[in-house]
Structures are given as structure tokens and as C-alpha cells.
Structure 1
Amino acid sequence: MSSTVQGSTVERTRPFGWRDKIGYAFGDFGNDLTFVLSALFLLKFYTDVMGISAALVGTMMMVCRIVDAFTDVTMGQIVDRSRPTAKGKFAPWLRRMCGPVAVASVLCFAVWFQDMPMGFKVFWMFFSYLLWGSVCYTGINIPYGSMASAISDSPDDRTSLSTWRGIGATIGQVVIGVVLPLFVYYKNDAGKTVLNGTTMMWAAVLCSVLAVACYLICYAMSTERVRLEQKTEKFSLGYLLRYLFTNRSLIGIVVCALLLLVGQLSLGNMGNYIYPNYFNSASMLSSITFIGAAITLVLSVFMPALARRFGKKEIAMVTIGVSAVALFAAFFVHTHDVRVWIAPYVFAWLGVATFSLICWAMTIDVINDTEVRFGDRRDGTVYATCSWRASSVRPARRA
């Protein structure tokens, strides 16, 4: 049986349940096995192993974010215009793109090029990062994120999916942020903690293989109950811009999450220097990541109930305010003792973890709001616009 609602059909299939939640969590586990790997280690890899300046690596990442603004929305259009299959409109992209994103991730850590001329290394850095992030990762992340709106039409179910997505991402964070630093760093003859390029490359291979397995599990366990129509009308840039940028809720969540992302990326990339170099403890890099993961997992237990009781945006704004106060306090204290740093970090992570757990549920709310305003449902395109501010909002799950 099925019911039709404004351009979409809700299929009465197997009821929404634990299989969908766990399956969807595996999707973001797979995402973070390559995304967090890049967010936490790529800057360190290119500066320490490949000998490229941090300024040039940062410039490359900024250029790629600009490119993402176009490739994300383009992928959203491709997904909206794709023909639904028996498995749905979004899930098939997980199977199509899991291999390419895994291969591209490994190419970003091509340690065998470390003795090549600098010009070639810079070229390879730009090429491999654009291939991975702006093409392959976009090609799997946009349909994966959009799929939440098709798994269920219930707001509570979608909040659960957002929470479980956060759980999956946290597991990926633990694998990358807690386990890997114990193996990829070593102390050189001068006693300084440095990154081992060869070990880092093999870690990327292992993470990519695991990512493919996670995507396939997500594909197998998730069920799209809301069947969306294929968009066949002629493309209009003017309509698309009006569709995207006259929605206050869409603009609000994009701006909010973009600012949060700037802080996350800054803290995450600096973490690879703060703990090994400033605090001279690579093991603390693992410990602080584990603390952040524990906070996220504890919050995930209560988040669906809290969202129903107080509202998603209200919880997000209050906890982000607490995080801002904690980080300002850490700035003024300017401690050299990592034990003192842990206290503001715990409070700072409350807001970051809370927003990470519910932001994708708010994104689906924006998709619904845009459909009500325009009478036109474009899940992939709207999600892609929100996704650009992060290529995912969860890059660095530690400070």
C-alpha cells in the first residue's frame, strides 16, 4: 500500500525500526573513515612528510571548498534528476560511489611521491584532494544525507536517524582519532613527535576498505519508504537560486553550520600540532578524542527525547553558547598544562556534539519547509546546499 503526498509517495513497507537506524549509522561511519582521516591528518601529512608549506596546503583546502560549492549543488541536481530504482533514488549511489571514494582517499596519502619535485607534489596534492573531496566524496555524501528524508516521513524518525548518524560518525572518529595516533606517530632522534608517512598511507588503505564495507551495509539495511519523483523539467539557474536563497531557514542553518565548521576545522587541524608539539604528547591526542567521543555517545542516548521536549534549534543554540564561553575561557587562561585544557574542552564539546547529533534532522526540516513554500521537493539540491558548509558538519570531533 502507499499514499501520495505532494510529489512523493509513501510506501507502506517494513516499519521503520532498529535496522534502519543501525544501517544509516554505518553510512556516516563510512563517511568519517575517509573524511575525518583527511580532516585530521592531511595537513600534517603534507607538511611533515611531503615538505609542502602549511600556507599552501591551507590555500588548497580553501580552493576546494569553493569548488565544492558548485560540485555539491551539481550532485544534488543529478540525484534529484536520477531515475528511482527498486531500491529507491538515493541508496543506489552508495553502491556506485563507494569504490571511487575509497581509491581517491588512498591517493591523497601517496607517500611514494615524497621524493618527487616540489611542483609535481603540489600538483598531486591539488589533483588528489579535488578528486576525493569535490568529486567522489560529494558523489556519495549528497545522496547519503538526502536519503534520510526518504527513509521515513516522521519527524521523530528523522531525529533518530540524525542521532544515529552522529553515533556512526563518532565510531569513525574513535577509529581515526583515538587508534591511529598510537601507530602513525613516532619520536625522532631529537625526541620530537612526527608523522610516519608510510604507516599513514597503509592506515588510509585500511580505512578505505572499511569504508566500502560500511557503505554496503548501509545500502543493504536501509529502506526508502518515501518514493520521490524524478525531476525532468528543463534546468533554470534563476529558479534554482530563488528556490535556494529565499528560504530563511535554509540560509540560517547554512550560516550557523558554516561558522561552526570554521571553528571545528581550525581546532581539529591545530590538534595535530598542539598535542604532539605544544604538549609533546601524541597519546593525549587519542585521549582527548576518546573524551569527545564519550560525550557524544552519552548525549546521543538523550537527544531524541530532549529534541521532542525543548526543540532542536533551542537545544543547539543554548549548548553552542556554553561552548563559546568555554573556548573563550581557554583562550584567556592560555594554559601549558594539558590537564587544565581538558576542563574547558569538555564544556566546549557539549555544544559541538549536540549540534552534530541534530543538525541533519534540522536539515530535513528545511527540506520540508522549502517544499511547503515552493510546492516542489528537491531533497538532493537542498541537502547539497546545506552540505557544502561542511562537506559534512562533523569533520574534527576533537579540539
Structure 2
Amino acid sequence: MSQNVNASSGQQPENKPVEPHAKNMVPWGERFSYGLSDFACNLSFQMVGTYLMIFYTDTFGISAAAVGTLFLVARIVDAFDGPFWGIMIDHTHTKWGKSRPYWLWFTIPFAVFCVLVFTTPNLSLPGKLAWAYVTYLGVDILYSAVNIPITSILPSLTSSPQERVTLSTIRQFMGTAGAAIVTGITLTMVAYFGGGSTTSARGWFIWALIVGVIVVGIFAIVFKNTKERVQTKSSRESIPIKQSLKALKNNWPWAIIIFINFIYWMGMQTRSQVTVYFFKYNMNNAGLASFVLSLQFVSLLAVVLTPLTSRLIGKRNTMLVGMIMAVAGQLLLSVGATHLSVSIIIVATIIGYLGTGYVSGLIAVMLADAVDYGEWKNGVRAEGIVTSFSSFSAKLGMGIGGVITGWILSMTGYAANQAQNAGALHGIELNYIWVPLIGFALSGIALMFYHVDGIEKKMQSDLAIKHAKENAEQ
């Protein structure tokens, strides 16, 4: 069914309320539980994203170039695993819904691989590389299995655009808190369990095991307390792959957000994974890395303000403000790096995190809007395939960021656990400052072409009429 069932048919007034307001509201307990999903994901995957490269190079004994190649291979795999999980979600129909079952089925395997990836068996160099490939690819694939449902379930939790902003804000608040906690205390915990050494294999394993157990417990709560309440004709039947792909036809809001998700996370990844390198080698103060990473907590202020700001100036403009602040933070960071000024670096980091706080939470909301746009424009509602590219594009960006980092460090002469030459120090700085700046700037430019905010009211009204008509035919 295509867009010919909208208000222009003349059968119903454009703004006639079809669904009760209460149906679109999500109870606070469920809001909190939904937010916990990203808290759990970030506890585990931010640990992987932030610390795996330095774990591989400085603890496991793999070269930076080899790690970069591993990340590139993983991104090739992601070209298939992200859409695969999206298609699987679109074909899933259980008493628990379409998205929720994946937390029940795949959380434990994901947590197991999060531990294995920080395990250091006594192997030859080829054996270490094989172990790294198997465990990292396992983490990557299983991460998609538990993370894509976090985004794909959002359009099913509520059809209210503002309620989606609220849910995504809570999710981002919790996710940011999880990221800040794990990045802020990981080196301390590794040293605690590793006899005072941040390169201790034993310390990394024990801490990864603790995080894995916590993740499993949290996802059990998420599964129990969430509900897929928005039921449409499409959500009650399997959608053929060819049909689900129609949701992407001329879906420019989706294309823009997927591009932003890719280039934004590329920049974020290069910065986060070289933070330890930057403070260890460029600033000669490795201990400061944990403090700077923990400053992610300041982004929670922007996250809390996101619903209000988006109501006042729109979602697109709110995200654009965030991107501008992120660029400004990187420019100020370059001044701090040039003068080796800790105070300037801290101020720059705070500005940058405030900016990214506005960005991260709105990506999921705009993808939910893209689900609606695909149905409104093409008559096909395919939450799985539309939102699966969120995980794919984010991981592709993070992977390319890993490739860039690994190859730049290798080409500029990085050598683990020793004083670096001028070229290596410059390579670290490129990764920490300039690659992220390019990513944020390109994201801001792409946002200038996003125009959904202006048609959102009509789109939601038309879809409400369409869903009511379909439900009446059941």
C-alpha cells in the first residue's frame, strides 16, 4: 500500500486524532529500562572501542598496523551482518515482539565474547592474530544482534515524535553514563586487578569478566520491562526482503542520517581510542587520560536539554548546534596540544562533549522518523532493515577510524611502551584532533540537507489515519 491512503484522499480531516494520547506514552519504569539497554551496550562496547587497540599493542603484543587491518576486515563483515540482523528482525514474530527477543537470545553470547576479546592465551604471533580475529569479529557480530534492536524497537514503543525524543534522551543519558563510567575507571580497575599495572593481562581479563556479568544482568531487566505497543499491519506479518527494501527508496532522511552516523562515529572513534596514547606519550601524563575520558559526564547536561532544545528549534537545528560545538572543541584542543596546556585541553574537551551530547541521542530519533518516512513515502514499514544500517554505519565509521588510527601510527613510527619520535607524536595528534574535526564538520554540512522537521506533523497525521484504517480491517 502506498501513500494514497493519506489525508489528501479527503476521507478524514488531516489532523483528526486517531490514537489516544495515553497509547503513545511510555511509563517511567519502561523509559528507564529502555535507557538501561544503551547503558549496558556502552559498558561493554565502549570498553572495546576505547581500549582494545592499546590492549592489543601494549599488552597482547600485536602491531598497530595489524590491528588496523583487523578493524578493516571487521568492517567488511559488517557490510553483511548489520543488514542481516535487520532482515531477521523484520521476519521475527514471537509473543515477545519483533525486537525484544534478541536481547533474550544473544546477550549472553555477546558478553562471553566481550570477555574473550580481552583474554591473552599463550600463542605464537600468528596464533594471537587468529585469536584476535575470531574474538573481535564475534564481539562485532553479536553487538549488532543486541544493539540494533535498541533502535528498531523505538518506533514500536510509541508513535509520538516527542515521546521518542524523550525515550532517546533517556537512552542517551544512560548510554553516556555507561560510557563515562567504563572509560573513566577501566585503567584503574585493570591496575587494581593486575597488581598495579595497566598493561596486566590478568587485570584486563578480570575487569572484562565483571563488566560482562553486569551486562547480562542489565539486559535481563530491559527484556522484562519493555513492550512493543505500536502494532501495525506490517508489524504483524513477515516482510519479504524485496518489499522491505522499498522502505529505503528515495528515503533521503534515512540516507543523510546514515551518512552522518558513519562520519560522526569515525571521528569519535579516532579520538577516543588514541586518548590514552595522547596523554601517555604526547603529554607524558598517562593518568590524566582516565580523567579526560570521564568528562563525558558533562555531555549529560546537553542530553537533558535535548528535548527542550528540539522543541524550540527543531531536531535538525539542535544536532547542528551540537556539531558546531564539537568542531569548536577540536579547534581549541589543537591550541591546547600545541602549548601542552592541560587547562585548555580540559576546557576544549568539555565543549566538545557538550556538543556530542546534543548529537548522539538524536540520531536514533531521526532514524525512527526515517522508518515513518519510508512508510509514508513508499507504503512499507520496515523497522529492522531501516534501523539496522544505524549499527552498520556506526561500526563502519568506528572501524574506518580504527584503520586510520592503526595505519597512521604505523606509518609515523609508533613503538609500544617507549618514548615516541616526533613523527609518531604528530601521528597521535592527527588522530586525536584533526580526523575527528573533519568528521564533525562533514556531519554538520550533511545536516543542512535534512528537512523532515517541516513535514513531521502532516506525516504523523497521515500515518495515524493509515494505521487506524488497517487496524479496523483486521
Q: TM-score surpassing 0.5?
A: yes
Q: Residues 126 and 393 from structure 1, CA distance in 2 versus in 1: closer, same or farther, beyond 3 angstroms?
A: closer
Is it true that 1:37 corresponds to 2:47 in the alignment?
yes
* Partner residue in 2 for 1:96: 105
Contact 1:10 1:227 in 2 (8 A): no
SS in 2 for 1:331: helix
Contact 1:106 1:208 in 2 (8 A): yes
Is it true that 1:310 corresponds to 2:320 in the alignment?
no
Contact 2:49 2:273 in 1 (8 A): yes
* Partner residue in 1 for 2:81: 71
For the residues of structure 1 that align with 2:361 and 2:36, how far apart are their CA atoms? 15
For the residues of structure 2 that align with 1:88 and 1:117, how far apart are their CA atoms? 46
For the residues of structure 1 that align with 2:137 and 2:374, how far apart are their CA atoms? 30
| TM-score, with length taken from structure 1 | 0.88
Contact 1:80 1:378 in 2 (8 A): yes
Query: CA shift at 1:289, angstroms?
Result: 2.2
* Partner residue in 2 for 1:53: 63
SS in 1 for 2:274: helix
After the TM superposition, which residues 12-27 of structure 1 pair with which residues of structure 2 at under 5 Å, given as runs? 15-27=25-37
For the residues of structure 1 that align with 2:356 and 2:396, how far apart are their CA atoms? 13
Contact 2:262 2:395 in 1 (8 A): no
Report sequence identity in percent: 25
After the TM superposition, which residues 1-399 of structure 1 pair with which residues of structure 2 at under 5 Å, given as runs? 15-85=25-95, 87-111=96-120, 113=121, 115-134=122-141, 136-185=142-191, 194-228=198-232, 229-232=235-238, 234-236=240-242, 243-244=247-248, 246-293=250-297, 295-332=298-335, 334-391=338-395
Query: What is the aligned length?
Result: 381
Give 5+ residue unaligned stretches, structure 2.
Answer: 7-17, 402-431, 434-474
Contact 2:247 2:379 in 1 (8 A): no
Query: CA shift at 1:388, angstroms?
Result: 1.2
* Partner residue in 1 for 2:461: none
Query: CA shift at 1:393, angstroms?
Result: 8.8
SS in 1 for 2:61: coil
SS in 1 for 2:116: helix
What is the one-letter code of the residue matched to 1:121? K
Contact 2:295 2:353 in 1 (8 A): no
Contact 2:32 2:170 in 1 (8 A): yes
Q: Which moved more, 1:384-393 or 1:65-74?
A: 384-393
| TM-score, with length taken from structure 2 | 0.75
Q: Residues 64 and 230 from structure 1, CA distance in 2 versus in 1: closer, same or farther, beyond 3 angstroms?
A: farther
For the residues of structure 2 that align with 1:10 and 1:59, how far apart are their CA atoms? 51
Contact 1:93 1:139 in 2 (8 A): yes
For the residues of structure 2 that align with 1:365 and 1:394, how far apart are their CA atoms? 24
Query: CA shift at 1:71, angstroms?
Result: 0.6
Q: Superposition RMSD on alpha carbons, in Å?
A: 2.7
For the residues of structure 2 that align with 1:132 and 1:102, how far apart are their CA atoms? 8
What is the one-letter code of the residue matched to 2:215? A
Give 5+ residue unaligned stretches, structure 1.
Answer: none
